[in-house]
């Protein structure tokens, strides 16, 4: 079967390409808007294409002769990016709209749309002691402005293409994915990578201090990339059609995230809190009741273990520079 992975030049997409290639799949097409030289991972035996999937003809070219589609393409980044680029994030709705149309026309057998925990209603995330977001907490709708609205709308598109045209769709809601081979600098990086970079730079420079966005008491759960890839594959192979959480249930404060990275680095830094920086919701975690019941599985990599691998990789990148 020919697999199409859109957003194949990105963090999760690159890991997904590598995963299927390692499993022995020979016919993989990867598409991204970025120049191929900027892709996170590259393999000589993959059908790589640089296309702007906001255009319908690019989507039609991408799905041609493909059996299954993993749609990971969107314009996104960490909180610093999505809070300051709401319109750009919203325009990504064209990708899923046109890709669904092209997939339906090409009689694709199954279609996965990678959604996000940013679809959840803001009033369910006002406490640091978040008990975990269940799938129904997305409604009544009040998602993250820009990026969250795009994801929620695209989820509904998948549902209606399944109802109206019989296109088999599945929708994972991914929670804060991190790990090696991801974005770690430049403004699009997420909290784990940003904290690792800041600690490494403080250690190398001898500055002995770190800037933290917010007061450090906001809470999150962070999912290691290996769990993300496994969850995507398990969901795709199941009969589940509605949105489902794929995320870690290990809730930590941002201060605890920094504690972990400092312990890995063997340093203790003075913390300077930037209270006017983008910081998102107050508390967000994944309730995994549904995925445990449906797949007898949930993400299990401990944050400390994932951070050690991420820290080591980012440290290597900084040393190379």
Which helix H or strand E contains 233, and what residues bound it? Answer: helix 225-236
Domains and CATH numbers, the chain: 3-177+224-246 (3.40.50.720), 178-220+250-285+301-320 (3.90.25.10)
Which helix H or strand E contains 174, and what residues bound it? Answer: strand 169-174
Q: 201, 315 in Cβ contact below 8 A?
A: no
Residue numbers annotated as active site: 147
**What CA–CA distance (Å, rounded) separates 121 from 78?**
18
Backbone torsions φ then ψ of 124, nearest 5 degrees:
-95, 5
Does the bond joining 140 to the residue before it have cis omega, within 30 degrees of 0? yes
Is the pTM of the predicted complex or chain greater than 0.85? yes
Going by C-beta distance under 8 Å and a sequence separation of 6 or more, which residues neighbour residue 34? Answer: 9, 10, 50
* Helix, coil or strand: residue 160: helix
Q: 70, 112 in Cβ contact below 8 A?
A: yes
Tens-digit pLDDT string for the chain (321 aa)? 899 999 999 999 999 999 999 999 999 999 999 999 999 999 999 999 999 999 999 999 999 999 999 999 999 898 889 999 999 999 999 999 999 999 999 999 999 999 999 999 999 999 999 999 999 999 999 999 999 999 999 999 999 999 999 999 999 999 999 999 999 999 999 999 999 999 999 999 999 999 999 999 999 999 999 999 999 999 999 999 899 999 999 999 999 999 999 999 999 999 999 999 988 999 999 999 999 999 999 999 999 999 999 999 999 999 998
* Helix, coil or strand: residue 29: strand
């Amino acid at each position: 079967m020919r697999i199409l992975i859109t957003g194949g030049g990105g963090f999760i997409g690159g890991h997904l390409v590598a995963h299927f290639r390692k499993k022995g799949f020979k016919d993989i097409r990867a598409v991204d808007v970025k120049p191929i030289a900027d892709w996170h991972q590259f393999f000589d035996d993959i059908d790589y294409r640089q296309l702007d999937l906001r255009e319908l003809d690019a989507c039609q070219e991408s799905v041609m002769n493909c059996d299954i589609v993993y749609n990971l393409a969107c314009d996104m980044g960490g909180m610093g990016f999505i809070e300051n680029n709401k319109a750009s994030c919203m325009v990504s709705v064209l990708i899923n709209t046109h890709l669904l149309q092209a997939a339906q026309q090409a009689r694709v057998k199954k279609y996965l749309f990678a959604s996000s925990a940013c679809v959840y209603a803001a009033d369910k995330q006002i406490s640091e002691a978040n008990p975990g977001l269940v799938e129904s907490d997305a409604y009544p709708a009040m998602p993250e402005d820009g990026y969250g609205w795009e994801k929620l709308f695209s989820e509904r598109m998948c549902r209606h293409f399944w109802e109206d045209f019989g296109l088999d769709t599945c929708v994972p809601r991914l929670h804060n994915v991190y790990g090696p081979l991801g974005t770690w600098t430049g403004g699009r990086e997420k909290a784990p990578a940003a904290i690792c970079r800041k600690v490494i730079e403080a250690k190398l420079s001898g500055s002995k201090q770190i800037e933290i966005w917010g007061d450090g008491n906001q809470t999150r759960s962070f999912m290691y990339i290996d769990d993300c890839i496994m969850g995507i594959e398990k969901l795709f192979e199941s009969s589940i059609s509605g949105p489902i959480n794929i995320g870690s249930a290990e809730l930590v404060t941002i201060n605890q995230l920094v504690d972990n990275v400092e312990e890995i680095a063997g340093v203790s830094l003075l913390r300077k809190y930037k209270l006017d920086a983008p910081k998102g919701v107050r508390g967000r975690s994944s309730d995994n009741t549904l995925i445990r019941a449906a797949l007898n599985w949930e993400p299990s990599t401990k944050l400390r273990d994932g951070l050690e691998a991420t820290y080591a990789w980012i440290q290597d990148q900084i040393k190379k520079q």
